[in-house]
Structure 1
Amino acid sequence: MLTIPPFDQARVLVVGDVMLDRYWYGDTGRISPEAPVPVVRIGDEERRLGGAANVALNLARVGAVTRLIGVIGDDEPGAAVRGLLAGAGVEPLLLESGSHPTVSKLRVMSRSQQLIRLDFEKSFALDGAFERDALMQRYEQALAGTDVVVCSDYGKGTLADVQALIAAARRRGIPVLVDPKGRDWQRYAGASLITPNLTEFEAVAGAAGDDDDALVERAERLRVDLAVDGLLVTRSEKGMSLFSAAGHLHLPAQAREVFDVTGAGDTVIALLAAGIGAGLEVGDAAAIANLGAGIVVAKLGTATASIAELERAAHAMQGGAVGLVDEDSLVALLADARAHGQRVVMTNGCFDLLHPGHIAYLEAARALGDCLVVAVNDDASVRRLKGPARPLNDLGHRMQVLRGLAAVDWVVPFSEDTPERLICRLEPDVLVKGGDYRPDEVAGGECVRAAGGEVRILDFVEGYSTTAIIERMNASGPAEAD
């Protein structure tokens, strides 16, 4: 049985390329007269830690004692990185460059789709401005209080002397995990574990195709050539494969649905390091990392997995019932989620016939936070609202279908005509409603705002309506038996 351990005794030092991920969100409804490109009216902006900083954030989110060494610029994005790290509980051991900007990536988003990405960067290794001696000195001082080192390489120059970093840690008996970049992996020789994705692995070791025996042979040859203890290869929908002197272990993918793979590799190496730092065998640590990957790919943008999410995923993997809850149980679950820093999103509806419009709406709602609660009208309240012929599917069936969606964490029923009482009890951080409502018209919105939360109105996807589907079905007459 896979158990999520406490990670608060794991002391992890992350060193690598620090980045800032920026997201601009807006609506687009027309094409520019200047060029065949969409015009986006920007409404919201969000900033997230990226690269090695996202690895550190993933570690901090599960409670590991986390420090970060990297390079930022003397600029506003660098200040933003410091602020985000401080808010996450990561100790920054950052060097500041006066001649290089903080590496940042700007993504323009509309209706949960990425339209363009703009990169602002200059390699820290290009002209010698990167102070290698200062970084090495800071690194060696930090090793004294470290259980595990993570080298997060994004090819920006911070890890130009990664071989020296690996050797310094291994001399002290400290395991070193490397997230690699490029094709020159000799620079990672002597590391404890390297965590490439399949594309990165095959670029160095040679393509294996669908031949698992060839994959094992290439991995073992590479492991010996590099004198590393192991390779953990992430294989997308095929899960992960761990290759070590003890043999190989395959871990099937845990994601119910893939929404965005951004930052999944950061989560994998962070949870692997946290597990090893907490005293787990590498196979058990890899299993937890696999669970974490399944969680974050169901989220939009660079994301993290919390202890509560890992525990739910472990419970689900072992056959436990998750997702369907009663009101009292949900109160306790949300208290635990908030204790782990999660942002709770809530929406409601009848969800009688689930269609693509519902899916897009729920995915957009989930992207506003860390967990999504869907409150569902019971059968009696649906009849009062929609008429005696509804619902077509009873409450149990409607809740089971919603439970199966990757975007949905918990499904809870309510019996009133509006969910106002339930919303006021749960006090979500974000209350979401679809359609042409004004925020002050949404049931329960006043309670949410009074508790410091917000009310968001999302557009429905045009062309989909449960009522319209039912009308078309009625117009087509009775269906023939199969």
Structure 2
Amino acid sequence: MTSSHLNFKNKHILVVGDVMLDRYWHGGTSRISPEAPVQVVKVSSVEDRPGGAANVALGLAKLGVRVSLVGVVGNDENAAALEVALKKEGVDCHFVVAESLPTITKLRVVSRHQQLIRLDFEEREDSLSQNQAIEEKVEQLLGDVNAVVFSDYAKGCLADVTTLIAHANAADVPSFVDPKGSDFSIYQGATLVKPNLVEFEAIVGECRDSKDIEQKGVELRERYGWQALLVTRGEDGLMLLEKNKAPFSLATAAKEVFDVTGAGDTVVAVLTAVFATSKRFSDAVDYANQAAGYVVGKLGTASIDAQTLDAIMFARSHSSNFGVLSPDDLKEQIRMAQLNGEKIVFTNGCFDILHPGHVAYIKQAKALGDRLIVAVNTDASVKRLKGEKRPVNDLVHRMAVLEGVGAIDWVTWFDEDTPLEIIKMLTPDILVKGGDYTVASIVGAEHVIEHGGEVKVLSFVDGYSTTSIIEKANS
């Protein structure tokens, strides 16, 4: 399955599991408390994000999937905050309210991108009294879904997960489990179970090497009747053990690990969405690996959208060190080029419909240095800048066309409204902009100049514009 075939919009996936609210207090630290030897954080902003099974649902919604979510919440303000955040992203919430329990909340205090402390607010019942209500909601929803995810954080919502899996099987709905605990027999009959290595070894014992994981994994998969077992191994990648197939291993796609929070949620979300589309575990694992590599480079509980995943897979299909590259891969290529004394030129734009004016401008930009980078706005970014009817051509299409322009060495992408973040990440030697700009008004100019670079303003060739081409085509 190629990246151009990623389309999840007609898929409906049910997520069942332990929902929680991830709350972040952000602020600066400048002094030590006189009361105790601890930092004083002056809180400047509060951020609420869906966590646990709710983060899996959010991840699926970001991919464009229609999502229904079943979980247990308290009768409190945090439940309301969680539902507001999920509904904003299009998640259909089917919460069971437990009057005696609070909504599980994890409060993190963050300063200068460093987590200083985490405070957990939760209570548990040994035997969750809401089991029957959960089962009824799941049964009602199974008739209209393409797959179900059971996201188990051992907080009680999936205390009777065996029954829920049986209902999924009876409805012929594939089930994907992100497990917890020391008893995997409760996941009997699931389609795929995805433990990390620590969780896996808690069940089968210590594994000396990959062969040991394979042998014990196959035994475990056969014992509980799973079609597939996926063991995620952190920096050692992933291993898929599928029924009647040879083991399938992948090295990790992570370039730099900044925060692993929510990485497992991303894996199971992408895994399920891709399998629901392609019906192939190997495709699903490949995409999930790339998505995990992306989110661990972000702070906090992160997600990935279908377009970014599309772009990553498209870039990865290019084995060359030139052409379309992800921002992370491009950063390394720039570093090596600059070590070789090459001057790196950077420009950016939507490049929706490539015309002679664009080509002339690109050639002028390339003449200023040795290597030219063109950073392209994603579709979402173009819509925010140009309106809902743009772009005419999607991101992968636009990058593929630019790749064919001989003057361009590298093509990459950015999702923000301005290229400031990617300019800071790549730090080119020469920043180029076309039009009636002053150097001081160009986004990223200050950063480039501070790092010893130059900023150039080029004139566009008169008589060409994407807007005029579109108007002429529609006239």
TM-score, scaled relative to structure 1: 0.71
Show the 5 A alignment for 1:273-422: 273-319=272-318, 320-322=323-325, 323=327, 326-329=347-350, 333-338=376-381, 373-374=420-421, 398-399=427-428, 413-414=432-433, 418=439, 420-421=441-442
- Alignment gaps of 5+ in structure 2: 331-345, 354-375, 386-414, 451-475
CA distance in 1, matches of 2:79, 2:247: 41
- Please name the residue that 1:259 is paired with: 258
- Please name the residue that 2:126 is paired with: 126
Which amino acid letter does the alignment assign opposite residue 13 of structure 2? Answer: V
Contact 1:327–1:412 (CA under 8 A) maintained in structure 2? no
Deviations 1:423-456 (A, max 9, x none): 89xxxxxx999x9xxxxxxxxxxxxxxxxxxxxx
CA distance in 2, matches of 1:376, 1:17: 39
Which amino acid letter does the alignment assign opposite residue 126 of structure 1? Answer: D
Q: 2:6 aligns to what SS in structure 1?
A: coil
Asked if 1:139 is matched to 2:141, the reply is no
Residue 213 of structure 2, aligned match among 212, 215, 221 = 215
Contact 2:13–2:66 (CA under 8 A) maintained in structure 1? yes
Residues 142, 375 of structure 1: CA spacing in aligned structure 2 closer, same or farther, 3 A cutoff?
A: closer
Q: After TM superposition, give the deviation of residue 110 of structure 1 in Å.
A: 0.6
- Please name the residue that 1:243 is paired with: 241
Q: 1:101 aligns to what SS in structure 2?
A: coil
Deviations 1:137-187 (A, max 9, x none): 111010010110100000110001000000010112111100000111110
CA distance in 1, matches of 2:423, 2:136: 57
Residues 420, 371 of structure 1: CA spacing in aligned structure 2 closer, same or farther, 3 A cutoff?
A: closer
- Please name the residue that 2:341 is paired with: none
- Please name the residue that 1:188 is paired with: 187
Which amino acid letter does the alignment assign opposite residue 231 of structure 1? Answer: L
Residues 372, 217 of structure 1: CA spacing in aligned structure 2 closer, same or farther, 3 A cutoff?
A: farther
Deviations 1:308-338 (A, max 9, x none): 2112211222224234763234789435134
Which amino acid letter does the alignment assign opposite residue 135 of structure 2? Answer: M
CA distance in 2, matches of 1:370, 1:247: 45
Q: 2:252 aligns to what SS in structure 1?
A: coil
Which amino acid letter does the alignment assign opposite residue 347 of structure 2? Answer: D
Residues 76, 287 of structure 1: CA spacing in aligned structure 2 closer, same or farther, 3 A cutoff?
A: same
TM-score, scaled relative to structure 2: 0.72
Q: 1:224 aligns to what SS in structure 2?
A: helix
CA distance in 2, matches of 1:223, 1:371: 48
Residue 229 of structure 2, aligned match among 228, 231, 239 = 231
Residues 341, 202 of structure 1: CA spacing in aligned structure 2 closer, same or farther, 3 A cutoff?
A: farther
Residues 30, 370 of structure 1: CA spacing in aligned structure 2 closer, same or farther, 3 A cutoff?
A: farther
Residues 370, 55 of structure 1: CA spacing in aligned structure 2 closer, same or farther, 3 A cutoff?
A: farther
Contact 1:12–1:148 (CA under 8 A) maintained in structure 2? yes
- Please name the residue that 1:87 is paired with: 88
Q: How many positions carry a matched residue from both structures?
A: 372
Show the 5 A alignment for 1:431-446: none
Contact 1:374–1:412 (CA under 8 A) maintained in structure 2? no
Contact 1:262–1:301 (CA under 8 A) maintained in structure 2? yes
Contact 1:21–1:47 (CA under 8 A) maintained in structure 2? yes
Q: 1:278 aligns to what SS in structure 2?
A: helix
Q: 2:34 aligns to what SS in structure 1?
A: coil
CA distance in 1, matches of 2:262, 2:347: 33
CA distance in 1, matches of 2:272, 2:110: 32
CA distance in 2, matches of 1:203, 1:88: 36
Deviations 1:10-56 (A, max 9, x none): 21000000100000011112222222211111111111000000000
Contact 2:19–2:104 (CA under 8 A) maintained in structure 1? yes
Which amino acid letter does the alignment assign opposite residue 68 of structure 1? Answer: L
Contact 1:375–1:412 (CA under 8 A) maintained in structure 2? no
Residues 287, 341 of structure 1: CA spacing in aligned structure 2 closer, same or farther, 3 A cutoff?
A: farther
Contact 1:375–1:413 (CA under 8 A) maintained in structure 2? no
Show the 5 A alignment for 1:42-53: 42-53=43-54
Which amino acid letter does the alignment assign opposite residue 46 of structure 1? Answer: E
- Alignment gaps of 5+ in structure 1: 343-367, 378-396, 401-410, 425-430, 436-482
Deviations 1:390-416 (A, max 9, x none): xxxxxxx9539xxxxxxxxxx964486
Q: 1:327 aligns to what SS in structure 2?
A: strand
CA distance in 2, matches of 1:312, 1:18: 30
Asked if 1:271 is matched to 2:292, the reply is no
Deviations 1:187-220 (A, max 9, x none): 01111101111111111112113x2111111111
Contact 2:127–2:159 (CA under 8 A) maintained in structure 1? no
CA distance in 2, matches of 1:218, 1:330: 52
Deviations 1:124-148 (A, max 9, x none): x3365x3211111111010010110
